[in-house]
Every structure is written in structure tokens, then in C-alpha cells.
Structure 1
Amino acid sequence: MMKTAFLGLGVMGGYMAANLAKSGYDVKAWNRTPNRPGTQIAASGGANIVSSINEAIESADIICICVGDVPDVEEVVLGKNGVVRSAKPGAIIVDFSTIGPEAVRRIASQAQSRQLSFLDAPISGGDIGAKNGTLTIMVGGDREAFETCKPILEMMGKQIFYCGPSGSGQAVKLCNQVLCSLHMVGLCEAMLLAKRQGIDPQLVIEVCSTGAAGSWALTNLGEKVANSDFAPGFMIKHILKDLRLVHEVLPSENPLPGVQLADELFKIVSHLDTEGASQGTQAMIRAYLESAVENNPQ
């Protein structure tokens, strides 16, 4: 069985590493900040927590990465203590981060010059999908490397898609994030409309989930919106990063108005207080509630 490393044990990475270890894989895991909840989750699943990237990857056949943004991936892969410095030739890097197609192609090119394969494999499904091993994984890169890694991906995800050459997984993920951000707009506005009409939001969730308006967001986040539960499964600061990547792909003279609206609403929440940016995307409802308070002062 292939030896694996897992770098980045955040909200999702900790569960993913744990699921991989529970499936019988030899997993050495590392997190930039020790003693985080994700580190404990990975360890409880059987992953061996180590103190450096080098220790994690020195004998690894597959090197999984799940971090935040482009600079984080560049540091982990290309930095002075990065993967390319000590990974064995022929190893495959699988990056689950969302960093956009351009960054992927640049990083993949440098990895390939060190005899390493690089797959971009962004994920969707939030902390729920990471915990349950039901993530959707969108993969770009060399097809042979994908087939080699597929058994490992299937330990962490339920729907595994090969999307094409390097950067293709990222391209599909950005489309996914457009849908996710606009689903949240619709969910928040439906909850507000229900309240305005004296309808129990729980009834709206129950009824609308069964018809054409049903969505992952309604089923998994509707009740959280209704109950003002803003604990993060996917943080607002991360969706804002993803929408920034969407804007970078599009010509400035031809923006997407729905994306602009969602971006504006998420930014309102991120600036409300010190907690806003780290709350879950369902906290978008706070932007609407704040507006209602301002427009209807006591």
C-alpha cells in the first residue's frame, strides 16, 4: 500500500487525513500550527503527526496538501522547506486547495522540473463532507497520475471526477463556488421572506428541499441560518478568496452580477466584527439583518 503524507490539518484536512488513516493507509501528517483541533482529529483517526514537512514526505508516494491560498501552497510546495526540496522522485502531489488555474499551472511546472507530478484536486462538501468521506473531488493534471491516486481519493470523497489537464480541476471548482455563493443568496432571502410572512423557516426548509428549489445549501445550512448558527464549515474568508479567483479569471469589463452581489454581502459580514470573516458562509444572513437594523432604527 502506498505511503502517504498529509500537509494541512484545518477544518477539512484533519477529517480527510483521519479518513485516509482509518482506511488502512500509512499517513504521516503535518500542520503549520501544532495542536489545532484538526491535528487531534487526524491523530485520533490513526495518522502519525510529525513536526516538519520533511519528516512527513521523505518516504511518501502520495503527498496531499490542504491549505488556504496561493501563497500557502507556494510555501508548502516551493518554499525553502517545501515539498520539492525533499520529496522522492516520482512522488505525486495532490493539492486539495482552491488556488485557481493559473497558480496551479505555475506550481505544477516547477514540481515537474523536480520529477514530481502535481494534481490540482479542489474539493466541495464542507466539513460535513470531509468528516463523512463524501466530498466531491475535481481533479486536473496527468491522467496516469490521477488513476494512481484514485484509490486514495475514494477514501476521502464519494464523487471523484477527472476534469482534464493541469488547472482543469480548479476551473470546475470556481464554477462550483459561483453556484455555492448564489445558493446562499437565495437561501438567505428565502428565510427572510418566510419570516416576513409569518412562516416558520423550518417549514420552508422541509417543503422546499423536496422540490425544484432543493439544494445542498438548503438541506445542510438552512437550519443553521434559521437558528443563527454561524459555526464554520466553510469560512467566509475562504469563499471571499474563491470569489477573488473568479474575478481574476473574468475580464474586468464583463463581470458576473450575481457573483458581485454575493461578494459584497460576504464582505459586509467579514467587516461587521472580529468574528465575521471566520464564521461559516451561512452567516451571510447577518448582512441582511444588519441592513434591516440600519433601515429600521428603534
Structure 2
Amino acid sequence: MYKNPIAFIGLGVMGSPMAQNLVKHQYNVKGWNRTLDRSLVTQAQENGVEIVTTIAEAVKDADFVCICVSDVPDVKEVVFGEQGIVHFAKPDSIIIDFSTIGPQAVQEINDQFRSKGLHFMDAPVSGGDIGAQNGTLTIMVGGEKSDYEKSLPILKTMGKNIIHCGDVGTGQAVKLCNQVLASIHMMAICEAMELAKTLNIDPELMIKVCSTGAAGSWALSNLAPKIASSDFAPGFMIKHILKDLRLVQESLENDTLPATNLATQMFKTVEQLGGTEQGTQAMIRAYQDSIEK
């Protein structure tokens, strides 16, 4: 059965498995990544994603264009740069941005896309590399309801919980709330791990028991075991959560989130310890560094 051709721009920790899940559901996917000699790009190619060397080649025949890159400048470059999407995308194609870049940026991007006869949705995701690999992401969508409905079959290949939040920008707004919760919760997990050790309780036991009660969460079940084994490999990097928390601060009229500020400080400590590309669970290093001092 024919399925719409799709372009996927950005084949990193999240984008590569997301593109591969599209292929698993019989979509024809052309993928582009700024750096081609990466293992995740090779992995995507080995699993059916056609790797191309220009954005133009990826998007020229695509009915849907997916973007998954890091920050506002990165999105704007792949969208509006000299070789950007806006210059080569088909009229009436739908561009779906899975990046987290904040409500203001996506509103500006949407205005320019609409002026070119293109459709746009912001669709930031949550669930980390595990969710991307398993196709179980939570996807928070902002955009026209008709665009959302047309895109839903595609989104269902990548996510389990897909929510239309409202107009363009609302997906980003909900995602920033998610990042505040995730950041502060990581602080709580690290403190519980440290308390368990102080009380001579096996951290693995604490995780097993507390995961079944009122304190249970995805992060406790999936990230706390990594902390216990000192596994700081990134599912979501420190540098990316710091970028998201910067976007949170930029969205505030006043500095009114003290717990978020503290979590930001803890992540910055890990960054200063050389952990910018480690996973967010590496926050525990800030606690360990404090104890050592």
C-alpha cells in the first residue's frame, strides 16, 4: 500500500530511531543529517532510511517533513538557511518540528511557513531515547486540527501518547512544563539515592520498592538504575536540558520558579565537571562532587 513520502531532518539520538520506526511501518523515508559519519546515521541507513546529502533532495518530493535538531538556531538554519526546507518543500506539505525550541520561536517559524503556502506543527516529544527506540514517545502537538489529523498516522509510528494541545506553540508550552517536572524530579531521585546510601540501604532496593508506590515514575524506573550503576550514557543530554531550562526562563516575565533554578544550578555543576554530553541522570555527580568537597 502506498504511503506518503517523508523527509526526516536530524538523525541524532532521537531522530534516528524515530525515522527507523517510520520505515518499520512501510513509509519511504529520506533522511538528512548535518554530520553524515555518525553511527546513528549509519544505523538509520542499515534499517531502511535513504540517506541523502542535501536538505533539498530530502524534502523536494515529501508530503511530510520531520525536523529533530537541538536548538533554535539549528532549527532556523535547516528551515531558512540558504539550503533550507522553505526553499525546496512542496506546496501544501506539512512540516512537523519535534525539536524543543519554545513557543515564541515556533510562532515566528509558522508565520514564515504560512506565507509560503506551507503547513507547520510543533510536536516536541518526551520519553528519551528509550521511548524513541520503542515508538512509545509522548508527543505534544500544536497546530491546525486538520494538519494534526492528516499527520496522526505518522505520529502513531513514533509515539504512544499523542495529544493535540491547541494552536501552534501550545505543544512547546506543554513541553516546557514537562521539562520543569523532569528536572526537579531528577533532583528528588538523586537525593533519595544519597539518603538510601546514608541509611545503609541498597539503592537498587529503594528503587524497586519506591517505584511501586506513590513516588513511582518513569524516571525512577528507567534512570535511577543507571545512577546506581554509574551509567551516564545519554538518553537526553545535560546540554539539552540546560537549553530547555533556558527556554523556560526566557518564557517567564519574572523569576518565579525557585526549584527550577536550583535544578538548573545542579545541571550546570555537572556541565562544569565535563558532563555536558552525559545523560541527565549524571546530576548525581553534582551531589558526589559536593560531598567530596
Residue-by-residue CA offset, 1:85-123 (whole Å, 9 max, x unaligned): 011100000000000000000001001111111100000
The residue type paired with residue 277 of structure 1 is: T
TM-score (norm 2): 0.98
Structure 2 residue 203 is the aligned partner of structure 1 residue 201: yes
String of CA shifts for 1:253-289, please: whole Å, max 9, x gaps.
Answer: x42011001000000000112xx10000000000000
Counterpart residue type for residue 287 of structure 2 = Y
* Counterpart for residue 259 of structure 1: 260
- Structure 1 counterpart of 2:213, from 195, 211, 214: 211
Aligned match of 1:99: 101
Stretches of structure 2 that go unaligned for 5 or more consecutive residues are none
Q: CA deviation at 1:41?
A: 2.2
8 Å CA contact retained: 1:7, 1:65: yes
* Structure 1 residue aligned with 2:277: 278
Q: Which of 134, 137, 153 is matched with 1:135 structurally?
A: 137
Q: Distance in 2 between matches of 1:205 and 1:2?
A: 44
| Mapped pair 1:185 → 2:187 | yes
Distance (Å, rounded) in 2 between the aligned partners of 1:112 and 1:41 = 34
Q: What is the deviation of 1:38?
A: 1.8
Query: 1:270, 1:277 within 8 Å by CA — same for their partners in 2?
Result: yes
Counterpart-to-counterpart distance in 2, 1:233 and 1:249: 25
Q: How far apart, CA to CA, are the structure 2 residues paired with 1:38 and 1:9?
A: 7
Match for residue 120 of structure 1? Answer: 122
CA drift at 1:43: 1.3
Which consecutive unaligned segments of at least 5 residues does structure 1 have? none
CA shift, 1:66, in A, is: 0.1
Please state how far the C-alpha of 1:44 moved relative to its aligned partner.
2.3
Regions of 4+ moved over 4 Å: none
**Residue in 2 that maps onto 1:287:** 286
Between 1:166-175 and 1:32-41, the stretch displaced more is 32-41
Q: How does 1:1-150 map to 2 (within 5 A)?
A: 1-150=3-152
Q: Percent identity?
A: 61
The corresponding residue for 1:168 is: 170
TM-score by length of 1: 0.97
Q: Deviations over 1:216-237 (max 9, x none)?
A: 1100001111111100000000
SS state of the match for residue 191, structure 1?
Answer: helix
SS at match of 1:233: coil
Residue 161 of structure 2 is matched in structure 1 by 159
| Cα distance in 2 between the residues matched to 1:258 and 1:291 | 18
Q: Which amino acid counterpart does residue 207 of structure 2 have in structure 1?
A: I
Supply the distance in 1 between the matched residues of 2:145 and 2:80 (Cα, whole angstroms): 23
1:198-244 CA-to-partner distances (Å, cap 9, x unmatched) read 00000000000000000111000011111111000000000000000
Measured against aligned partners, the alpha-carbon deviations of 1:5-55 in whole angstroms (never above 9, x if no partner) come to: 000000010000000011100100000000212212211221101111000
Query: What amino acid is aligned across from residue 224 of structure 1 in structure 2?
Result: K
- Does structure 2 retain, via aligned residues, the 8 Å contact 1:3–1:27? yes
2:245 paired residue number: 243
Q: Please give the per-residue CA displacement for 1:111-140, whole angstroms capped at 9, x wherever unaligned.
A: 111111110000000000000000000000
Q: Provide the secondary structure at the position in 1 that maps to 2:234.
A: coil
Give me the CA root mean square deviation.
0.7
Amino acid at match of 2:232: F
Do the aligned partners of 1:247 and 1:255 also contact (CA within 8 Å) in 2?
A: no
Q: CA–CA distance in 2 between the matches of 1:144 and 1:270?
A: 42
CA distance in structure 2 between the partners assigned to 1:257 and 1:287 by the alignment: 18
